[in-house]
């Protein structure tokens, strides 16, 4: 492609989803003079002329994210949480148990002198807020719907060809497209993949009683079931099942599905009275061979595509953004070797630790061996009785493992 015919940007973000949009907001908030572009394959949602009509009311079928206390602190620092706090449900305690066994442990906010371990938020609220804010940024340009068809490195830039025919050059290409990113492959990253042979079914559940701001992570013989408290006497369900069972569960009507969840989970969380629309996705662990390459950085699920156990994925993405801001700081060239090297060093250990943590939970609690079951239940019981044993799990749940000082 000819550089003279290209549009030039300081940073191009491939992927305009939650991670990419949040990154764009943080970059422009820190450095308003940056020229940014977002490439997004999904068709842009129509925006109303009335700002009040751009925000839709909470949906029974909305997807939700569990935000660790550390992530909430960052969103507050980035000027976003103030508009989200009244839409979120505080998470005050988490029960972790192994169905059919004696082992269990309880994490509470009170024992760590916090008002909440985290917050559960429906994705649409953050998405709508970011969409409204980014539309007001004069230095941000969207290429949507569009995708990257070729990436050509030069010494001082990445040249990006789009499927629409547009040509861009950028000092830094950030790929935040999700676990199945095609741009990641075009940029030269190799990816290893482990298939858990499981799928996650997600839905919102209605409750007959209050959830008392309590979350549950219950391990069963088929995989974990997570319940996250939502506003309005609802739970967000993430139900891990064997892949062969997915079609039958999706085919159930609402009452049958609600009964199936009740039977699988039990009555510890109360009585489920209804279920919203269901969705499913296969569970794999995808790991690229590098965090960065020449003038290119991975972020979010393009960098770490995890099992949803313990709700670590989006919290990791928030820490990716924080690290990139720290690495970037006052640098004149956002794609320089020094910036990318600093970003890699800030992220490698945190990502490795969380991947190990989530993978060990999946494999350890999916193992039917009696000796393994005895060991894991003894561990859960010990945590219930001994705070020092429980503290690492609590710190991970609260997102306190990487205390970055700035941004």
Report the alpha-carbon distance of residue 52 to residue 75 in Å, rounded.
22
Which residues constitute the domain of residue 289? 3-42+126-192+285-359
Taking a C-beta distance cutoff of 8 angstroms, is the pair 84, 121 a contact? Answer: yes
In 3D, which of 66, 67, 68, 76 has the Cα closest to residue 26? 76
- Residue 207 sits in a domain whose CATH number is 3.30.9.10
Identify the CA nearest to 393 among candidates 322, 284, 309, 286. Answer: 309
Q: Which residues contact 391 (CB under 8 A, 6 or more apart)?
A: none
Predicted confidence at residue 309, as pLDDT, reads 62
SS3 198: strand
Tens-digit pLDDT profile for residues 123-166: 999 999 999 999 999 999 999 999 999 999 999 999 999 999 99
Residues 208 and 279 in one domain: yes
Beta carbons of 390 and 107 less than 8 angstroms apart: yes
Q: Are residues 202 and 270 in the same domain?
A: yes
Final residue in a domain of this structure, among 237, 254, 283: 283
**Cα(202)–Cα(205) distance, rounded to whole angstroms?**
10
Closest CA to 219 of 108, 379, 92: 379
Where among 233, 254, 283 does a domain terminate? 283
Q: Which residues pair with 198 in a beta bridge?
A: 242, 283
251-256, long-range: CB < 8 A, 24+ apart:
none
**Domain end marker among 319, 342, 359:** 359
- Residue 33 shares a structural domain with residue 133: yes
- For 300, the 3-state DSSP assignment is helix
Count up the domains in the chain and report the number.
2
Question: Which residues, given as ranges, of the chain have pLDDT below 50?
Answer: 2, 46-59, 101-103, 367, 369, 371-390, 394, 404-407
Asked if residue 349 and residue 200 are part of one domain, the reply reads: no
Give residues with Cβ within 8 angstroms of 292, minimum separation 6.
Answer: 298, 340, 341, 343, 344
203 and 115 fall within a common domain: yes
Which domain CATH number covers 137?
Answer: 3.50.50.60
296-298 vs 292-293, strand pairing mode: antiparallel
- The answer to whether the Cα torsion of 110, 116, 117, 120 is positive or negative is positive
| pLDDT for residue 311 | 63
For helices 313-328 and 337-365, angle between their N-to-C axes, nearest 10 degrees:
160
Predicted local distance difference test score (pLDDT) of residue 402? 55
User: Residue 98: helix, strand or coil by DSSP?
Assistant: strand
In angstroms, the CA 240 to CA 398 distance is 23
Residues 279 and 200 in one domain: yes
pLDDT of residue 104: 66
Is residue 297 within 8 Å of 200, Cβ to Cβ? no
């Amino acid at each position: 492609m000819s550089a003279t015919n290209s549009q030039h940007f300081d940073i191009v973000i491939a992927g305009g989803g939650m991670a990419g949009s949040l990154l764009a907001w943080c970059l422009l908030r820190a450095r308003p003079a940056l020229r940014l572009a977002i490439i997004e394959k999904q068709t842009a949602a129509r925006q109303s002329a009335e700002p009040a009509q751009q925000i839709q009311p909470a949906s029974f079928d909305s997807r939700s994210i569990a935000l660790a206390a550390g992530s909430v602190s960052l969103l507050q620092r980035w000027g976003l949480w103030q508009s989200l706090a009244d839409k979120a449900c505080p998470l005050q305690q988490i029960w972790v148990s192994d169905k059919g066994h004696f082992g269990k442990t309880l994490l509470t906010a009170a024992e760590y002198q916090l008002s909440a371990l985290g917050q559960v938020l429906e994705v649409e609220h953050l998405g709508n807020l970011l969409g409204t804010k980014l539309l007001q940024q004069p230095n941000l340009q969207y290429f949507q719907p569009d995708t990257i068809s070729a990436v050509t490195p030069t010494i001082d830039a990445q040249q990006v060809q789009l499927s629409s025919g547009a040509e861009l050059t950028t000092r830094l290409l950030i790929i935040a497209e999700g676990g199945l990113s095609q741009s990641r492959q075009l940029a030269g990253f190799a990816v290893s993949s482990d298939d858990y042979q499981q799928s996650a079914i997600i839905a919102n559940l209605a409750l007959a009683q209050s959830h008392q701001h309590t979350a549950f992570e219950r391990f069963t013989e088929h995989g974990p079931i997570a319940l996250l408290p939502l506003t309005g006497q609802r739970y967000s369900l993430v139900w891990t099942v064997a892949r062969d069972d997915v079609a039958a569960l999706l085919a159930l009507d609402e009452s049958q599905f609600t009964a199936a969840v009740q039977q699988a989970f039990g009555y510890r969380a109360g009585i489920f009275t209804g279920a919203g629309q269901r969705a499913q996705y296969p569970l794999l662990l995808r790991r690229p061979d590098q965090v960065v390459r020449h003038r290119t950085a991975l972020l979010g699920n393009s960098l770490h595509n995890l099992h949803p156990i313990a709700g670590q994925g989006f919290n990791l993405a928030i820490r990716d953004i924080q690290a990139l801001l720290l690495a970037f700081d006052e640098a004149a060239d956002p794609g320089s070797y020094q910036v990318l090297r600093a970003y890699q060093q800030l992220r490698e250990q945190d990502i490795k630790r969380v991947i190990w943590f989530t993978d060990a939970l999946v494999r350890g609690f999916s193992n039917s061996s009696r000796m393994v079951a005895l060991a894991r239940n003894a561990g859960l019981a010990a945590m219930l009785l001994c705070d020092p044993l429980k503290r690492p799990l609590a710190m991970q749940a609260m997102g306190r493992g990487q205390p970055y000082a700035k941004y």
